[in-house]
Chains A and B, each alone.
Chain A
């Protein structure tokens, strides 16, 4: 294809996103501005054989994380067997005491997981970078990216057999419906969103529309006698399942933050009584805490009796004194992350930071070691991407977030996931909030 032709199609893609208003909101400028998520037209291709390994590795990981959550809010065998210290678990900001002893529907905590992978450019191996098991977002971009690609390059899709992923909303809907305490036929399912000012609001309305369920805000719901209802023009209507995209601490002002207007007072009571199901479960944050991350390989061995298929990044847990000493000494070589943050916020990349920033982080880490971990810099792999300024292809750093759905028995992972790309040359940060873009991810049928 000639460069002009390609440029033409690229503009077509941008226009398509613009007209549909597929945007996200950034807060760094203090006002919350709507922005387009930059899209790179060159697909990223992952060989089928490699994908099968990723699929097995993620399945194993999701099962282990779910078992860990069941255990930690249940019998706590892993604490008694001293595989992880009690204090590390209890000091996690997202550990929810209110969940201890709660039997969640079908034993599922992690209905939806987005697990971030990176490929180490030295070894060529995929590593797990972090787990997102609270309210992971981004799947709408995966689905929309594919839609735009098939519209713009129909001929390529006819030539290559790319594994489809459009069944995601249907599979999610099936899982949500299966959680209903009143049986599947009567299941009333809603998606609870914080509202239009949330950065992922587009995704919330997209998924609600795709699944044909009601998009609600906290003020649309009411709890009466331990039952959750929506307020409709023809009276109150009972709700069975809530796919909630509101964080734990805002869910119920009677249980968590009392100043929250985003949630529903009394919701936790209804949830604990088993009158309503929530996906994901409350308290999952203890499993994707970045310090707990270091122990997930141990969870896999402990709960499943298997060796981890996917490796993790070496992690220094600053809560441990020897690790802390190492981190303070070697900060310029390390990536330092706050354990409870996501989206690329609260993070230091040692090798590119100036001395002042490093000193600031040293002070922060010493003041609150539990809140930080550090990892060596992973040389992220690069894949060919289009550079609009030179109108040529150039290597850009990428990561990959596959989306895993768990129905209590099996884990379903739509082939591919969100490939985020650092569109700036040499940048290692791929988060959309930090100027990253995305590209379609292709797993080809049969080959390899």
Chain B
């Protein structure tokens, strides 16, 4: 497979995942804030910008952190490369360059998804609130996963798609837990534990709310929530599950069996999976959640870089 095609598949999947994750976070936080008092308003919007990794850009574009600005910035802004609309546009652009290599159904699906997204009028949506828009995005990305799974051969190309969306998901979930936890602890030091609504929102944003209750049969406890999002082996959006996906796809490409590795990305993926399989949430908190997640984030960054170095880039021959 051509390196360029593998790279386009990787980014196609990453952009789709990023659009979905952003939509989920936006939707859930907005709903939750409707039930909150006004005084801590801006404090709660700020983490969303931090999660998107675009604090500086946001401050250049807006003077105030409020619901509308955050919504517009994360959903529609053309000049925010991470906005949902931009992610879908870039996913489609990647698909277009390789349309002879993906299934016709995939191309037609992503193409019509793109046209649907660009037909939204930001002005109307800002009035209506993000729910309707975010719901469409989630539906669109889920359909993309379904169409892809059902119509494209599960060959090397498919493994690059899988790496793309799993790696993005692992990074987003780790950032979500990190930012939310820090913020909630900072904000309400006297209460001792952050309030349940916040953590419910976190669970909802990764679609794990019902699963949490089924597993723990208890009220929402921050430690358990963090444990679920980081260590659960079955929930498709947990860090452990996503990293295991990355590892398995990498092995399928290189043909490496368990217990060894063919490149640096595989070694790091194996290391992270191992940790997440045997660490307990109490130990993680003892070490400090933030430093633990920060380490994971760094590893994901290195994995991405090494995948690119191994499979996508060629040094210029003089």
A contacts, CB < 8 Å to B? 19-21, 195-196, 205-206, 208-209, 214-217, 219-220, 222, 224, 230-234, 236
- Say yes or no: A231 contacts B100, CB within 8 Å: no
Within 8 A of A (CB), among B79-128: 93, 96-97, 99-101, 104, 107-108, 111
Asked, given contacts A19-B108, A222-B317, A224-B317, whether A209 binds B100 with beta carbons under 8 Å apart, the answer is: yes
**Who on chain A is nearest to B316 by CB?**
A222
A231 and B314 in contact, given A19-B108, A217-B4 (Cβ under 8 angstroms): yes
The residues of A that contact B104 with a CB separation of less than 8 Å are 20
B6 at the interface (CB under 8 A from A): yes
30 residue pairs A–B, Cβ–Cβ below 8 Å: A19-B108, A21-B107, A21-B111, A196-B96, A196-B97, A205-B99, A205-B100, A206-B100, A208-B100, A209-B100, A214-B2, A215-B101, A216-B2, A217-B4, A220-B2, A222-B314, A222-B317, A230-B2, A231-B3, A231-B4, A231-B314, A232-B2, A232-B3, A233-B1, A233-B2, A233-B6, A233-B311, A233-B312, A234-B1, A236-B314
Q: How far apart sit A180 and B2, CA to CA, in the bound complex (Å)?
A: 20
Task: Give the distance to chain A from B214, nearest Cβ to Cβ, in Å.
Answer: 40
Q: Is B253 an interface residue (CB 8 A)?
A: yes
CA distance A19 to B111 in the complex (A): 10
Contact of A233 among B101, B108, B253 (CB under 8 A): B253
Interface residues on chain B, size class: 20 to 34
B156 touches which one: A19, A224, A231, A233 (CB < 8 A)?
Answer: A233
**What's the least CB distance linking A202 to chain B, in Å?**
9
Q: Which 3 A-B pairs have the closest CB atoms?
A: A205-B100, A233-B311, A231-B3
For window 1-34 of B, CB contacts with A under 8 Å fall at 1-4, 6
Do B97 and A195 touch across chains, with their CB atoms under 8 A apart?
Answer: yes
Residue in contact with A231 in the complex, picked from B2, B97, B111, CB distance below 8 Å = B2
A222 to B318, CA, bound (A): 11
In angstroms, how far is the closest chain A Cβ from the Cβ of B172? 25
Q: Residues on B close to A: CB < 8 A?
A: 1-4, 6, 93, 96-97, 99-101, 104, 107-108, 111, 156, 253, 310-312, 314, 317
Considering the chains assembled together, what is the distance between the CA atoms of A232 and B157 in angstroms?
A: 12
Chain A nearest CB: distance from B314 CB in Å? 5
Measured between beta carbons, the chain A residues less than 8 angstroms from B317 are: 222, 224
CA distance A328 to B317 in the complex (A): 54
* Contact assessment for B96 and A232 in the assembled complex, using a CB-CB cutoff below 8 Å: no
B4:A219 contact, CB within 8 angstroms: yes
Residues of B within 8 A of A214 (CB): 2
Give B229 Cβ to nearest chain A Cβ, in Å. Answer: 32
Minimum Cβ distance to chain A for residue B1 (Å): 5
CB closest residue in chain B, given A221:
B2
Distance to closest chain B CB from A207 (angstroms): 9
Closest to A207 in B: B100
C-alpha spacing A209/B107, complex, angstroms: 14
Q: How far is the CA of A299 from the CA of B5 in the complex (A)?
A: 45
Q: Which residues of B lie under 8 Å from residue A216 when comparing CB positions?
A: 2, 4
Chain A residue, CB-CB nearest to B99? A205
- Say whether, besides A208-B100, A224-B317, A232 and B1 are in contact (CB < 8 Å): yes
Q: A230 to chain B: which residues have CB within 8 Å?
A: 2
**How far, in Å, is B85 (CB) from chain A's closest CB?**
19
Q: A205 to B253, alpha carbons, bound, how many Å? A: 25
Give me 4 other A-B pairs in contact (C-beta within 8 A), A216-B4, A217-B4, A230-B2 excluded: A20-B104, A219-B4, A232-B1, A233-B6
